[in-house]
Amino acid sequence: MNRSVILQCEAVTVEFDGFKAVQGMDLRLEKGELRFLIGPNGAGKTTILDVICGKVKPASGKVLFQGKVDITRRKEHQIAELGIGRKFQAPSIFPTLTVFENLEIAMRQNRGVFATLRAKMSAEERDRIEAQLAMIGLEAKADWRAGGLSHGEKQWLEIGMMLLQEPEVLLLDEPVAGMTDKETDKTGELLHQIARKRSIVVVEHDMEFVRNFASKVTVMHEGKLLKEGSMDEIQQDDRVAEVYLGKRRDVDVSRSTA
């Protein structure tokens, strides 16, 4: 292993009122890796993302960031400051702020109160935001209230916000849900592009998308790690097939249950 590990989950267990949503889950993410996390409903995929970004505190286990910081003890905003960005399933942008303002506050910067009180928009910051606007195709709508955007545009805005946030690790929960085929392909290419510099974990139900863009896939089932490997290895695995559809091997049909 030459590449350094950026994120490491060790034996993470999460309980909700006695129900174990995640049981002893391990996950190692290397720098510049694009990892897909799949599994049937209730497998604990979203929960493990929640643990990494601090939304849910695990009952036991550790999550090490850059090999040293145990982030399970940190608060959400501290984890975000360390460099872990999260995109939720439903587009969550700030509806009464304009598109431009959404990007402005998401941009990497000092987020203390006194810093934002004195903050002035520099020419360099403006250029960065405008470049990002161009990339997500919302230049013409920069002054719109974000709440007035279409579903797909909101998704793009949120991706734009994440990119300006410049996190080391991106956690994406179903980023292509509700997107057209064309947009889905664009997103996939974008993910590969981003993964050159950063690490990404994607939870996805869209098997077509996973097959087209995944290099390494982790399958979860009932809160545990079931299988990890390339897409081909996953598709050949009997246990994965069984989990998804009884005895049948066609993983693709799982989309209907998503």
Partner 1 sequence: MQLRTLTPQRIYILIGYAVASAALFSAPLFMSDFRLNLLAKFLAFAIVALGLDLIWGYTGILSLGHGVFFGLGAYAMAMYLKLEASGDRLPDFMGWSGLTQLPWFWKPFESFAFAAAMGIALPAVLALVLGYFTFRNRIRGVYFTILTQALVIITVTLFIGQQAFTGGTNGLTGFSSVLGVPLSSPDTKRMLYWITVIALLGAFVLCRYLVKSRFGKVLRAIRDGENRARFIGYNPAVYQMLVFSISAGLAGLAGMLFVLHVGIISPFMMAIVPSIEMVLWVAIGGRGTLIGAALGAILLNYAKSEFSTSYPDAWLFFLGALFVIVVVFLPKGAVGLFGRLKFPKRKGQKHEQVSHSAV
Partner 2 sequence: MLPFLKSWKVLCLFDRKAYTQQVHKRGEFMELIIGQLFNGMSVSSILLLIALGLAITFGLMNVINMAHGELIMIGAYSTYLTQNLFIDYLPSSMFNWYFVLAIPASFLIAFAIGLILEFSLIRFLYGRPLDSLLATWGVALMLQQLARTIFGAPNVGVKSPTWLDGGWMLMQGVVLPYKRLFIIGLVIVTLFAMYLYIYRSHAGRRMRAVMQNREMAACLGISTRRVDATTFAIGSGIAGIAGCALTLMGPIGPALGTYYIVDAFMVVVLGGVGKLVGTIIGALGIGLTNTLFEFWTTASLGKVLVFLCIVAFLQWKPKGLVAMRTRSLD
Give the interface with partner 1 as residue ranges (CB under 8 A).
53, 55, 75-77, 80-81, 85-86, 88, 92-98, 100-102, 104-106, 111-113, 116-121, 143-145, 148, 161, 165
Residue 199 interaction partner, one of partner 2, partner 1, none, beta carbon < 5-8 Å per kind: none
Residue 3 interaction partner, one of partner 2, partner 1, none, beta carbon < 5-8 Å per kind: none
Q: Among 4, 11, 70, 90, which residue sits at the site for partner 2 (rule: CB under 8 A)?
A: 90
Backbone angles phi, psi at 209, to 5 degrees: -60, -45
Q: How many residues does the chain have?
A: 258
142: left (phi over 0), alpha (psi -120 to 50) or beta: alpha
Residue 92 interacts with partner 2 (CB under 8 A): yes or no: yes
Say how many residues touch partner 2, by CB under 8 A. 5
- Scanning 71-79, 85-93, 111-119, 124-132 for contacts with partner 2 by CB under 8 A, the matching segment is 85-93
Q: Which residue's CB is nearer to partner 1, number 1 or number 117?
A: 117
Residue 17 interaction partner, one of partner 1, partner 2, none, beta carbon < 5-8 Å per kind: partner 2
Q: How far apart are CA 255 and CA 40, in angstroms?
A: 10
Contact letters for partner 2, residues 11-30 (x by CB under 8 A)? -----xx-------------
Helix (H) / strand (E) containing 213: helix 207-213
> In angstroms, what is the minimal distance from the CB of 19 to partner 2?
11
> In angstroms, what is the minimal distance from the CB of 50 to partner 2?
9
For residue 93, which amino acid is it? Answer: I
Residue 154 interaction partner, one of partner 1, partner 2, none, beta carbon < 5-8 Å per kind: none
Q: How far apart are CA 72 and CA 62, in angstroms?
A: 6
Residue 53 interaction partner, one of partner 2, partner 1, none, beta carbon < 5-8 Å per kind: partner 1
Q: How far apart are CA 258 and CA 253, in angstroms?
A: 10
Residue 96 interacts with partner 2 (CB under 8 A): yes or no: no
Q: How far apart are CA 18 and CA 3, in angstroms?
A: 38
Q: How far apart are CA 154 and CA 93, in angstroms?
A: 7
> In angstroms, what is the minimal distance from the CB of 207 to partner 2?
24
Q: Which residue's CB is nearer to partner 1, number 26 or number 81?
A: 81
Alpha helices by DSSP H, listed for 28-177, are: 45-53, 76-82, 99-106, 113-118, 123-135, 151-165
Q: Which residue's CB is nearer to partner 1, number 115 or number 253?
A: 115
DSSP state of 227: E
Gyration radius of the chain's alpha carbons: 19
Residue 67 interacts with partner 2 (CB under 8 A): yes or no: no
Buried b (16+ CB within 10 A) or exposed e, 58-67: beebebbbbe
Site residues for partner 2 per CB under 8 A: 16-17, 88, 90, 92
